[in-house]
Structure 1
């Protein structure tokens, strides 16, 4: 019996010493339309990798990124991988990055982009909140609703109102009918609202309805995390908000 106990303890110690958290996957790039790609990088949450989505838009006059890779103040490897992929695969300079709100999954790679000479832009509120979070400030120049063109590709940025955060914007590619919703929009593959520590739950639903009114013709809707699809993601976000509100204890 003593010998068996010793063997079991030895096996447990050996397992504990070799068990490691799940490794963080490398960058994944997925084409979704002509000259438009989703870049997916991973952050770690409770020891497990979680995907974060952004866009790569090849305008013919340089690359526009929507959101950085999911990085931290001390580790910008995801965004560095993204820059290497663009250089190796598209052989175009990155001209601009638009960040959609101030969380690290969207702004964490600002330092790497700045070192590479890439301009990063946001709304003034996102710039302010990014600095408060301890990251380098993007250029806070975007108004609440504006369209600009790079290489004959129009890009619209739109602030629908508070939701996931007080500063979240969406990005619309009218030629391709693609809406990048960021973390403001929840994938149909998820069953909760995710992190809501800075959310405005009472305003979020009306903000989603504004997006539906503006971009209801979208062929593709890209959420900040997990799988993308069509405008069902907007309807799903409203359903999740309704369920969350119904589950709150009544006073």
Structure 2
């Protein structure tokens, strides 16, 4: 008898938790077909977040983003893939970490870098990107606050972040961001994680890709941490791997040079 009562009580508790989790939703809870935003603390000043691009009803592709904090100020590298995830990240930084958001840096125009920009605009958080990215997004009614041609420096607390356009690779407009104080490079989708494939080449300039990454490697010989757009972070070997991956490509991509 006691066992039966205990079993019924356990079932009731489990049911109550399940019902509560279904009913007590917040504005940031994803629907049944959306993966939630993940935020990983790397150190006191460094956070990596992962948002998920929906490829099919049951298939999600993890997309990296990065947050750097210095003296109470923060900058986000790439927007989460949609406005809801971006709002959640902004809420976490402003209300949980209590930092001032100085801006969001957009690596290139694809959704895994710029998909949630409207949330930053609504929160009056400035955006930074190459002038090419700004023009492409402008055509889609999305505005970049501070576009640049070749190089741009952004002050975050006591630290300077360098945004630089080295040339086409994954896309025509892709940039990289470097934090000298951390010896850290945010490469976005231009840089591949170790043993990754070539990925989405729809807008790629594959024949220029190794040359562009070679320029990055030459510009930052002291880099120690490299964060790619997808997959695990690493060191300068990610640059070497990316160069090698695309150096043997003989496919004709001349249509991308128009």
Q: Does 1:43 align with 2:77?
A: no
**Distance of 1:69 and 1:135 partners within structure 2:** 18
Deviates more, 1:78-87 or 1:23-32: 23-32
What are the Cα deviations for residues 166-198 of structure 1, in whole angstroms up to 9, with x where unaligned? 1100000100111000011011142x2111111
Aligned position for 1:225: 230
Aligned equivalent of 1:62: 73
Look up the match of 1:194: 199
Matched, 1:207 2:217: no
How do 1:1-251 and structure 2 match up within 5 A?
23-47=33-57, 48-71=59-82, 76-132=83-139, 134-190=140-196, 192-243=197-248, 245-246=249-250, 248=251
Q: List gaps (5 residues or longer) in structure 2.
A: 1-31, 253-258
> How many residue pairs align between the two structures?
221
CA distance in 2, matches of 1:94, 1:146: 18
SS of 2:170 mapped into structure 1: coil
SS of the residue aligned with 1:94?
strand
**Structure 1, unaligned runs of 5 or more:** 1-21
Superposition deviation, residue 61 in structure 1: 4.4
Q: What is the CA-CA distance between 1:33 and the residue it aligns to?
A: 4.0
Q: Aligned partners of 1:103 and 1:229: how far apart in 2?
A: 23
Q: 2:133, 2:173 within 8 Å by CA — same for their partners in 1? A: yes
Relative to 1, partners in 2 of residues 1:33 and 1:144: Cα closer, same or farther, differing over 3 Å? farther
Q: How big is the alpha-carbon RMSD for the aligned residues of Structure 1 and Structure 2?
A: 2.0
- The structure 1 segments of at least 4 consecutive aligned residues displaced by more than 6 Å after TM superposition are none
Tell me the CA shift for residue 46 of structure 1: 3.3
TM-score by length of structure 1 reads 0.82
Whether the aligned pair in 1 keeps the contact of 2:72 and 2:98 (CA below 8 Å) is no
- Counterpart secondary structure, 2:136: helix
